[in-house]
Amino acid sequence: MTVEQTLAELVAIDSVSSRSNADLISYLEARCKTAGFITEQFPHVDQAGVTKINLVARTGTGPDLELALVGHTDTVPYDPAWTDALRLTEKDGKLFGRGACDTKAFIAAA
């Protein structure tokens, strides 16, 4: 699967910050496990009482070399008039979709 295809799948998952990110984390965890990563979820309840989940994916358990790639999965609400917000679209060589540049594209590339 290409980075662009992965980004399209991430954009399609509604992860507005007022709701849980569990669906997006489930998707990412499945992809990480398929790639051979060891995963662990860290759920917490935010100030609004919504359960949010942090996901850690590791290639192993040794202390040799460590690198952290950190990104957030929530997006800001979008205007209902934006009918394609959850569909990755291309226009003039640029990709558009809710969360595409902040930070779902980074997550897709990582």
Spatial distance between the Cα atoms of 110 and 21, rounded to a whole number of angstroms:
18
The reply to whether 105 falls in a domain is: yes
Range of the domain at 43: 3-60+84-109
Per-residue pLDDT of the chain (110 residues; tens, 9 = 90+): 899 999 999 999 999 999 999 999 999 999 999 999 999 999 999 999 999 999 999 887 777 767 788 999 999 999 999 999 999 999 999 999 999 999 999 999 98
Q: What is the pLDDT of residue 40?
A: 94
The model's pTM is: 0.90
The reply to whether 37 falls in a domain is: yes
Helices 22-34 and 3-12: crossing angle in degrees, nearest 10, is 150
Spatial distance between the Cα atoms of 59 and 69, rounded to a whole number of angstroms:
13
Domains in the chain, number: 1
Q: Report CA 5 to chain centroid distance, whole Å.
A: 13
The reply to whether 77 falls in a domain is: no
Spatial distance between the Cα atoms of 37 and 30, rounded to a whole number of angstroms:
10
Tokens found for residue 47:
């100030």
Spatial distance between the Cα atoms of 48 and 80, rounded to a whole number of angstroms:
23
**How does strand 94-96 pair with strand 89-91?**
antiparallel
The reply to whether 48 falls in a domain is: yes
Q: What is the pLDDT of residue 91?
A: 95
The reply to whether 73 falls in a domain is: no
Q: What is the pLDDT of residue 66?
A: 74
Q: Give the distance between the most distant pair of CA atoms in the chain.
A: 50
The reply to whether 74 falls in a domain is: no
